[in-house]
Structure 1
Amino acid sequence: MAAGVVVAVVLVALVFIGLWKLLGDAKGDKDFLPEGDGWWGKGEPSQTPADETIRPFKVPYSPETMQDVRRRLASVRLAEPLEGSRFHYGFNSTYLQRVLKYWAEEFDWERTVAVLNKYPQYITNIEGIDVHFVHIRPLGVPESTKPKVLLMAHGWPGSFYEFYKIMPLLVEPQGPGATEAFEVICPSIPGYSFSEAPHKQGFNALCAARLFCKLMERLGHDKYYVQGGDWGSLIGTNMAIMRPWCVKGLHLNFVTVTGGLGRLLPSAVLGPWMPGLFGLTPTDIKRVFPCTQLLKNVLLESGYMHIQGTKPDTVGVALSDSPAGLAAYMLEKFSTWTKRENMDQEDGGLETMPVWVPTGVAAFPNELLHAPRAWLASKYRSIVSYEYMPRGGHFAAFEQPLLLAEDVRSFVKKVEELAVPL
Structure 2
Amino acid sequence: MTKKAENKNPNKKNQNSSSHIVSKLIFISAALIGLLSFYIYNIITIPPEVPQFDLNQWWGPYPIDLNRDLSIRPFTIEFTDVIINDLRERLLHRREFTPPLEDAGFTYGFNSNFLTQVLDYWQNKYNFKDREQFLNRYNHFKTNIQGLDIHFVHVKPQVSNHIHVIPLLMLHGWPGSFREFYEMIVKLARPHPSYNFVFELIIPSLPGFGYSEAPVRPGFGPAEMAVVIRNLMRRIGHERYYVHGGDAGHIVGSVMATLFQDEVLGFHTNMPVLMYHPLATAYTLLGSIWPSLIVEKELESRLYPLSQHFQRHLEESGYIHIQATKPDTIGAALTDSPTGLAAYILEKFSTWTNYEYKKAADGKLLMKYSLTHLLDNVMIYWATNSITTSMRLYSEACSKRNLALKLDQIPTNVPTWGIKFKHELIFQPDSLLRLKYKNYLHSTIVEDGGHFAALEMPDLLADDVFEAVDTFMEFHSGKNLKQETQVQPNYETAKTIYEFTVRNINGKDVKLDRYKGHVLVIVNVASQCGLTDTNYEQLNELYERYAISKGLRILAFPCNQFSGQEPGTHREIFNFAKKRNVKFDVFEKVDVNGDNAHPLWKFLKRTQSGTFGDFIKWNFSKFIIDKNGVPVERFGPNVNPIDLEPHLVKYW
Distance (Å, rounded) in 1 between the aligned partners of 2:216 and 2:275: 32
RMSD over equivalenced CA pairs, Å: 1.9
Q: Distance in 1 between matches of 2:135 and 2:280?
A: 45
Tell me, yes or no, if structure 1 residue 339 matches structure 2 residue 354: yes
Taking a change above 3 Å as real, the CA distance of residues 259 and 113 of structure 1, as seen in their structure-2 partners, is closer
Q: Tell me, in whole angstroms, the C-alpha distance in 2 between the residues paired with 1:335 and 1:263.
A: 29
* Superposed CA offset, 1:328-361 (max 9, x none): 0000001111111110111010843222200000
Contact 1:35 1:242 in 2 (8 A): no
> Displacement, 1:383?
0.6
Count of aligned pairs between the two proteins: 390
Q: Equivalent residue for 2:456? A: 399
Find the counterpart in structure 2 of residue 116 from structure 1: 135
> 1:241 is matched by which residue type in structure 2?
T
What is the CA–CA distance in structure 2 between the aligned matches of 1:252 and 1:352, rounded to whole Å? 18
Letter in structure 1 aligned against 2:78 = P
**Hey, what does 2:439 align to over in structure 1?**
382
Q: Which of 149, 152, 158 is 1:133 aligned to?
A: 152
- 1:135-191 deviations in Å (ceiling 9; x for gaps): 00111x22233311100000000000000000110111122x643201010000111
Counterpart of 1:195 (choices 185, 188, 212) is 212
**How far off is 1:274 after superposition?**
4.7
Separation in structure 2 between the aligned mates of residue 376 and residue 390 of structure 1, nearest angstrom: 20
Quote the residue 1:362 is aligned against.
Answer: 419
Distance 1:35 1:237, change over 3 A: farther
- Residues 7-31 of structure 1: CA deviation (Å, up to 9, x unaligned): xxxxxxxxxxxxxxxxxxxxx7125
1:270 deviates by 3.8
Q: Which residue does the alignment assign to 2:201?
A: 184
Which structure 1 segments of 5+ residues have no match?
A: 1-27
- Specify the alignment match of 1:231 in structure 2: 248
- Structure 2 counterparts to residues 59-208 of structure 1, below 5 A: 59-77=77-95, 78-139=97-158, 141-175=159-193, 178-208=195-225
Name the counterpart of 2:337.
322
| Other-structure match for 2:261 | 244
2:249 counterpart letter in structure 1: G
- Scaled by the length of structure 1, the TM-score of the pair is 0.88
- Residue 210 in structure 1 maps to residue 267 in structure 2: no
| Distance in 1 between residues matched to 2:238 and 2:283, nearest whole Å | 43
Which runs of 5 or more structure 2 residues have no equivalent in the other structure? 1-46, 365-405, 479-652
Q: How much has 1:49 moved relative to structure 2?
A: 2.4
Within the candidate set 403, 410, 433, 1:353 is matched to: 410
Q: Could you say what secondary structure the match of 2:233 adopts?
A: helix
1:99 Cα deviation after fit: 0.6
Per the alignment, do residues 296 and 160 of structure 1 end up closer, same or farther by CA in structure 2, a change over 3 Å counting?
A: same
Pair 1:288-2:303 in alignment: yes
* Distance across 2 between alignment mates of 1:71 and 1:55: 33
Residue 38 to residue 44, structure 1, CA distance change in 2 (3 Å): same
Q: CA distance change for structure 1 residues 33 and 148 in 2, over 3 Å: closer, same or farther?
A: farther
What is the aligned counterpart of 1:297 among 306, 312, 316?
312
CA distance in 2, matches of 1:356, 1:87: 43
Whole-angstrom CA distance in 1 between matches of 2:108 and 2:52: 40
Deviation sequence 1:71-125 (CA, Å, 0-9, x none): 1011112222222211011111111011111111111111110100010010000
d(CA) in 1 for partners of 2:363 and 2:49?
44
Shift of 1:43: 1.7
Post-superposition shift, 1:260?
3.8
C-alpha deviation, 1:283, in angstroms: 3.3
* 3-state SS of paired residue (1:122): strand
SS at match of 2:267: strand
**Is the CA contact (8 Å cut-off) linking 1:358 and 1:420 kept in structure 2?**
no
Alpha-carbon distance in structure 2 between the residues aligned to 1:266 and 1:56: 49
Work out whether residues 208 and 235 of structure 1, in 8 Å CA contact, stay in contact via their aligned partners in 2: yes
Instruction: Output the amino acid matched with 2:58.
Output: W
Match status 1:371 vs 2:428 = yes
Q: Per-residue deviation at 1:407?
A: 0.8
Provide the TM-score with structure 2 as the length reference: 0.58
Closer/same/farther in 2, CA of residues 270 and 223 from structure 1, 3 Å limit: closer
CA distance in 1, matches of 2:275, 2:341: 33
Aligned pairs for 1:244-283 within 5 A: 244-257=261-274, 260-262=277-279, 264-271=281-288, 273-275=290-292, 277-278=293-294, 280-283=295-298
Taking the aligned partners of 1:48 and 1:321, their CA distance within structure 2 comes to 35
Q: CA deviation at 1:227?
A: 0.2
Question: How far apart are 1:48 and its partner, in Å?
Answer: 5.0
- The residue identity in structure 2 corresponding to 1:253 is N
Residues 288, 306 of structure 2: 8 Å contact kept: no
The structural deviation recorded for 1:309 is 1.6
Deviation digits for residues 276-334 of structure 1 (CA, Å, limit 9, x no counterpart): x33x1123311111111211121122211221121111111111110000000000001
Q: Which moved more, 1:33-42 or 1:129-138?
A: 33-42
User: Per the alignment, in what secondary structure is the counterpart of residue 103 of structure 2?
Assistant: coil
Distance 2:291 2:232 in 1: 46
Distance (Å, rounded) in 1 between the aligned partners of 2:57 and 2:169 = 22
What one-letter code is carried by the residue in structure 2 that aligns with 1:406?
Answer: D
Bigger radius of gyration among the two: 2
One-letter amino acid of the counterpart of residue 305, structure 2: P
Q: Distance in 2 between matches of 1:225 and 1:97?
A: 42
Distance 1:417 1:262 in 2: 31
Aligned residue for 1:313? 328
8 Å CA contact 2:270–2:420 kept in 1: the answer is yes
SS of residue matched to 1:65: helix
Read off the aligned partner of 1:103 and give its amino acid letter.
Answer: W
Q: In structure 1, what is the Cα distance between the partners aligned to 2:299 and 2:166?
A: 32
SS of equivalent to 2:85: helix
Report deviation, 1:269.
4.0
